[in-house]
Chain A
């Protein structure tokens, strides 16, 4: 069954994500980083840019997929991703306010393209930490296709 296009424009309740030292280390290790600043014990520590995956895909995407009115199904792949960053990198102890929303749902052939935006701001000064836009491709569920 096709996704519910009426959900386009939905802004989900913001959640709080706290950047932690161990999570930065874990993420940096998983992508094979070697910059010592991603592993530091002190104020030198910063997060790699794509650490934003942890809250944009890890948390925000799950929030959207769990929306019972969206009608998401598990036959999906990631189509594209973009991140725009603010003036400084994320650091351990940063608290982010993260607000996911649905930008668009577009059928293309048998598939549907769901575009999700996530705005993450530093709670301390309300400046941008990262803006994420994720395109998720739902396979075979467009109206008129056989599958889904």
Chain B
């Protein structure tokens, strides 16, 4: 890991919420809410009127960026995210973050996830052991 200071940005991660991805995530995580793969159910319930990605898929992606930056899962102390906007199926989202504070060998990070139109869909924070 290169020297990190307050303001260092973590390399971003992007992905597309294809239906195949959502089905794969549902099976892998056991999160079987039909909102993520059942079109009729989503039409009735979804905030967008259509299929949306699992919040936890977006958390998994931002965590991927954080964990790679931190040097592995043994460096990750805490992850918190808020899902502020749904991630519609078949759209791209990009996740990143930056260091906001360093003290006693622990770095605090602010995290974000943006939809392809630039709107923020995820906000969060993390602490990592340096």
Binding site for B on A (CB under 8 A): 23, 26-27, 29-33, 35, 37, 46-50, 53-54, 57-59, 61-62, 74-85, 88-89, 139
Contact = CB atoms under 8 A, between A and B. Distances in A.
B30 interface: yes
A26 B28 CA distance: 6
17 contacts: A26-B27, A30-B21, A30-B27, A30-B28, A30-B29, A30-B60, A31-B25, A31-B60, A35-B67, A35-B68, A53-B56, A53-B59, A54-B28, A62-B30, A77-B35, A81-B55, A84-B77
Contacts of A54: 28-30
B116 interface: no
A58 B64 contact: no
Between A47, A62, A82, the greatest number of chain B beta carbons within 10 A of the residue's beta carbon is seen for A82
Closest 6 CB pairs of A and B: A58-B30, A31-B60, A30-B28, A78-B55, A82-B80, A89-B73
Given A78-B83, A79-B83, A89-B73, A49 B63 contact: yes
Interface residues of B, number: 40
A58 B68 contact: no
B33 interface: yes
Given A35-B72, A76-B33, A85 B77 contact: yes
B45 A74 contact: yes
B79 to A, nearest CB: 5
Determine the main DSSP class of A at the interface with B. mixed
A57 B82 CA distance: 15
Contacts, number: 116
Contacts of A89: 72-74
B29 A27 contact: yes
Determine the main DSSP class of B at the interface with A. helix
Interface in B80-122: 80-83, 86
A86 B8 CA distance: 25
Interface in B1-60: 13, 15, 21, 24-25, 27-31, 33-35, 41, 45, 47, 54-57, 59-60
B14 to A, nearest CB: 10
A62 B31 CA distance: 9
A49 B81 CA distance: 13
Given A59-B30, A77-B35, A80-B82, 9 more contacts: A31-B28, A31-B57, A31-B63, A35-B67, A48-B67, A48-B73, A49-B76, A53-B59, A54-B30
